[in-house]
Amino acid sequence: MDAEKSRAFALETSYYLFLQRRMYEIFTYVSCNKNNFKTYSIQNESLLLDVCSFFDSLKQNLSNERSKNYEELFNELNLSTKEVKINSYEGNFQDGYTLTPFKNWVGKQPAPWWDAFTSLKHDRLSNFKKATLGNVINALAACFILLLERHEEQCKKRQIPEMEKLFLPKYWILNDGGYIPVMTTYK
């Protein structure tokens, strides 16, 4: 790995881990349960703005690396199908509890969490109720997925296991201490 890519990996994963810690802080007050995904707060708003800004940087860097616009990149990476398992409390990955943060991002129609971000960015007071736990956690899952795509080699080797504290990719399986892609068949 070249020095620039190594620096990018270190910086981006450090920033992601910082955001992940902030997410866990919110979980000390609001349980990570689908029943609470509509809960909104100032903490959620602050974290959503930071997570989505980070996502925007990741998206731009990945697009530039691959010389693709966002739409081409999303299609190439098949992001609408990428699911992650969520671990709301350490060591308690719940079977069947998954997020697909790009599922509703179709062409120019963004995912609800991104729409919430842009609304909040332009008018925080009027759009405060869009700062929901569900939007924050889906945005952070989207960052996790882009990090895995941007730094696939390092992530599959589990170089920073703390990255897997909150999410696990459902499209990779653990094999001999590292990850391999899940084989899928298309009809």
Confirm whether 187 is domain-assigned: no
Domain count, the chain: 1
Which position has the higher pLDDT, 142 or 87? Answer: 142
Strand partners, 10: none
Domain-embedded: residue 186:
no
Residue range(s) defining the domain that contains residue 86: 3-181
Is residue 82 in a domain? yes
Residue carrying structure tokens 């809960």? 39
**pLDDT at 185 exceeding the cut of 60:** no
Q: What is the pTM of this model?
A: 0.88
Mean pLDDT computed over 5-14: 90
59 is a domain residue: yes
How high is the pLDDT of residue 89?
A: 62
